[in-house]
Structure formats: structure tokens, C-alpha cells
């Protein structure tokens, strides 16, 4: 356990109490005391994620990328993930065996190479181990990084660390750890306020829902955790998780739909119905257990069992009573397309990781490149595959309308 002098302990107590008061006053994932316009993305924007293990361990899920694509389906967004476990805002984990470049210079080179329009920055988790003594250094390093990204004419977005969840058999003072994380979270939000930046406060939001079900080991997020973090990030950018609800009354022949849904070609009676759904957003892939799904309510049907078909694909069967209460739609053509896109996003993350962090980087781009420099071209080959996958994603995002039919089967 770390030892603290008297002034350090007093400082921690004061700042922790201040953070608690702010938390109770307004629990928001955006900076509470400012009015920032939602993120405005142009078509073809490149979003780069940079930070520590929070982003590196997100790569095998592809969730944050998918949720951003679903929020802006007409922008043809592309993504690069530069997460590096153990990293800090000065790039301390990105050290090659040889220098130059220095770690921070390498971090900037890697960001520049992605040609970003938006850089989502998630630091503070590692620096928080230094407690109050390391706070000023972290502030200086983060501001330097923000200013450098601004000089690239890219827009920084800040993300706070996540809290540590107490679990059994870990010899860690979790309260002390979270006190320090709260300290650094508050500093990140203060910097966001001064710089007029969007900020996603994962720390306080995960404190609210703080269940171990969202982490693998109390420290790193699992699939459900990254889904929750994705919703928090979307909200901080001015968007909410898209809601999909359709309410049909077969007695009055009325259809009400939520959000951006548009319904055409309705044909409704008390023994069945059909209509066409135009939706610019894709659902979150069905194997994410925490997904909100899509709810279809059909009131006024005669007693019996009815099956729903979407583009002639059997989706779900339920009684008239169940349809009147609302049935969750968790599969179908749109979900199939969403899974395909997410799989391609995961492939892109893997390919880019291999390109910018090859296992034999010392030989390809480091001090021994004179031995294997002729093979460095293979790193660029990955970009060809990435470009092809991005083109395929763009085609999948061009959604065709889906034809819904409800037929009585019993």
C-alpha cells in the first residue's frame, strides 16, 4: 500500500469530498456546467481512439465503432484504434528499444499517421496510481496532447477512466484506488471545460451502475461493459442509443413509430398485417445481452398464435396477448447485417494493430531494420485489406427497406 504524507491525505480528502458533492448535484456524462454543441462530423470522418488498456482491450469487440456507425450511418465513418495497455498521456508505454523517437514523439507520429478528424483520448487510469502527487504532471501532459491534436486540425474528445470494482481475492485498497481515479476524473472534466471539449465521464456513470457484471476482473470491461461505455460515449457526443418501437392497433388501423422510423404500405386487419419499415439505424448485434432490442406492439388481434416474418424470414411467434404487450425483436435481416459489420470492424482493428504494432517491429522499423527492412512493405499491405473492408461496410450501411408481415398460424 502507498504511504502518503499529511498534506497529501488532506488534499485527497478535500478533493474527494468536492467530487462527491459534484456527483450528487448532477450525475451527467457530459461536463455539467457548460453548453457544448454536439459533435458535428463531416462525411468520411476518421475517428482515432488513443489511450491505455480501456481502448486496447476494446479491439476484439468492435462495439464502440459499431455504435458510432449506427449513430451516424450516413457519414461513412472510419476508425483507428491506438490503445496501448499501460500507456499515459506522455506515451510512456510506447517505447521502442532504440531512440529516437522518444515515446511522446512516437505517440504523435502514430496519431498523425491515422489522419484523424476526431481523436478520442482515454488517459488518467495509469497516472492515477501516483495520486495527488502526479496530478499536475498529468494535467500538463494531457493539455500538451490536446494542443498537439488541435494543431493537426483534429477535434479532441476526452474520456475519463472507469472505476475499479471490488472483487474477492485481490489485495488492493479499492477505496484508495477509486479516490485517486475520482481525482483524475475531476481534473479531466476541468480541462474539458477550459478547452470547450466534449467529455464522457465513464467513472461516475459506472459508479452508478457499478456491477461486476460489466468487468472481467473488476478492472477491465467485458462485452457488456463496452456496450455501456459506448452508450455513455454516444451520449457525451450528443447522441443517444437509438430507440426502435412500433405500435400497431389493428382495430383502428393506426401505426405509430419511434425515432427516425418511417412506415409505408400498411395493410392491417385483426387477423394479420403487413407494412414496410424504413430505418437508417442498424440494431446492435443480438448477442450483446444488454442490448435494448426492438419492440413491436400489436393490439387488437383475434385470439391465436401469430408469427412475424421480415423479408420472408421467420423471426418470432407469439400469442395475440403477447403481441399486445409487446414482443422483443432480436433477430432478422437487419441484425444479420449488423453482425457482418461488427465482424468487419473487428477485422480492421486486428489488421491495423498488426500494422502499427508488429511483433517484430525492432527488425522492421527499429534499431535492427537493416536486417529486415525489405519486409516492411508488408505492413502497408494490411492497409489494402482495411480499405477493402471499409468499402464493404459502406455498402452494408446502405439499408434497404424491410417488409414486415404478421400471419396467424394457430
245-249/294-299 β-pairing = parallel
Band of pLDDT at residue 354, cut at 50, 70 and 90: confident
Complete edge-to-edge strand list for the sheet that includes strand 313-319: 262-269, 272-278, 402-408, 305-310, 313-319
What pLDDT is recorded for position 399? 79
**pTM of the prediction?**
0.84
User: 87-133 pLDDT, tens per residue?
Assistant: 999 999 987 656 678 899 999 999 999 999 999 999 999 999 999 99
245-249/254-257 β-pairing = antiparallel
CATH no. of 6-236: 3.40.50.1110
Q: Which three cell numbers stand for residue 64?
A: 464502440
- CA dist 124 and 180 (Å) reads 10
Q: Does 137 have pLDDT greater than 60?
A: yes
Domain definitions of the chain by residue range: 6-236, 242-410
Q: Does 5 have pLDDT greater than 60?
A: no
User: 242-256 pLDDT, tens per residue?
Assistant: 778 999 999 898 999
Complete edge-to-edge strand list for the sheet that includes strand 46-51: 78-83, 46-51, 118-122, 155-159, 198-200
CB 276 within 8 A of CB 296: no
Band of pLDDT at residue 362, cut at 50, 70 and 90: low
| Higher-scoring residue by pLDDT: 382, 116 | 116
User: 282-329 pLDDT, tens per residue?
Assistant: 887 654 554 557 899 999 999 999 999 999 999 999 999 999 999 999
What pLDDT is recorded for position 12? 38
Q: Which three cell numbers stand for residue 306?
A: 401469430
User: 193-220 pLDDT, tens per residue?
Assistant: 999 999 999 999 998 886 678 888 888 9
My answer on whether omega of the bond before 101 falls inside 30° of 0, hence cis, is yes
Amino acid at each position: 500500500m502507498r504511504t502518503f504524507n499529511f498534506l497529501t491525505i488532506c488534499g485527497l480528502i478535500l478533493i474527494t469530498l468536492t467530487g462527491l458533492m459534484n456527483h450528487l448535484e448532477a450525475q451527467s456524462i457530459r461536463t455539467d456546467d457548460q453548453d457544448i454543441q454536439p459533435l458535428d462530423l463531416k462525411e468520411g470522418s476518421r475517428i482515432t481512439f488513443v489511450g491505455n488498456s480501456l481502448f486496447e482491450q476494446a479491439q476484439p469487440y468492435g462495439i464502440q465503432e459499431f455504435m458510432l456507425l449506427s449513430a451516424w450511418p450516413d457519414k461513412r465513418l472510419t476508425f483507428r484504434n491506438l490503445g496501448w495497455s499501460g500507456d499515459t498521456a506522455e506515451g510512456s508505454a510506447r517505447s521502442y528499444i532504440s531512440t529516437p523517437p522518444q515515446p511522446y514523439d512516437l505517440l504523435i507520429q502514430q496519431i498523425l499517421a491515422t489522419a484523424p478528424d476526431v481523436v478520442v483520448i482515454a488517459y488518467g487510469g495509469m497516472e492515477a496510481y501516483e495520486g495527488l502527487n502526479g496530478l499536475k504532471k498529468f494535467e500538463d501532459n494531457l493539455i500538451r496532447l490536446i494542443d498537439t491534436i488541435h494543431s493537426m486540425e483534429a477535434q479532441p474528445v476526452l474520456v475519463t477512466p472507469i472505476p475499479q470494482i471490488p472483487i474477492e481475492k485481490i489485495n488492493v485498497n479499492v477505496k484508495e484506488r477509486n479516490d485517486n481515479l475520482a481525482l483524475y476524473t475531476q481534473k479531466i472534466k476541468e480541462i474539458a471545460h477550459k478547452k470547450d471539449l466534449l467529455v464522457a465521464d465513464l467513472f461516475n456513470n459506472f459508479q452508478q451502475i457499478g456491477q461486476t457484471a460489466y468487468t472481467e476482473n473488476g478492472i477491465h470491461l467485458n462485452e457488456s461493459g463496452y456496450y455501456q461505455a459506448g452508450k455513455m460515449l454516444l451520449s457525451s457526443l450528443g447522441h443517444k442509443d437509438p430507440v426502435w418501437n412500433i405500435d400497431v392497433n389493428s382495430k383502428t388501423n393506426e401505426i405509430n413509430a419511434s425515432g427516425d422510423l418511417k412506415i409505408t404500405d400498411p395493410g392491417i386487419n385483426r387477423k394479420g398485417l403487413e407494412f414496410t419499415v424504413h430505418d437508417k439505424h442498424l440494431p446492435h448485434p443480438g448477442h450483446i445481452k444488454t442490448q435494448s432490442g426492438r419492440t413491436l406492439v400489436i393490439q387488437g388481434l383475434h385470439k391465436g398464435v401469430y408469427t412475424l416474418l421480415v423479408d420472408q424470414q421467420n423471426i418470432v411467434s407469439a400469442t395475440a396477448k403477447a403481441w399486445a404487450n409487446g414482443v422483443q425483436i432480436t433477430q432478422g435481416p437487419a441484425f444479420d447485417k449488423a453482425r457482418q459489420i461488427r465482424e468487419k470492424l473487428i477485422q480492421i482493428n486486428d489488421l491495423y494493430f498488426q500494422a502499427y504494432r508488429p511483433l517484430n517491429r525492432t527488425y522492421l522499423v527499429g534499431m535492427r531494420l537493416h536486417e529486415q527492412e525489405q519486409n516492411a512493405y508488408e505492413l502497408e499491405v494490411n492497409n489494402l485489406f482495411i480499405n477493402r473492408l471499409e468499402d464493404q461496410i459502406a455498402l452494408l450501411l446502405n439499408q434497404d427497406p424491410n417488409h414486415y408481415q404478421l400471419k396467424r398460424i394457430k
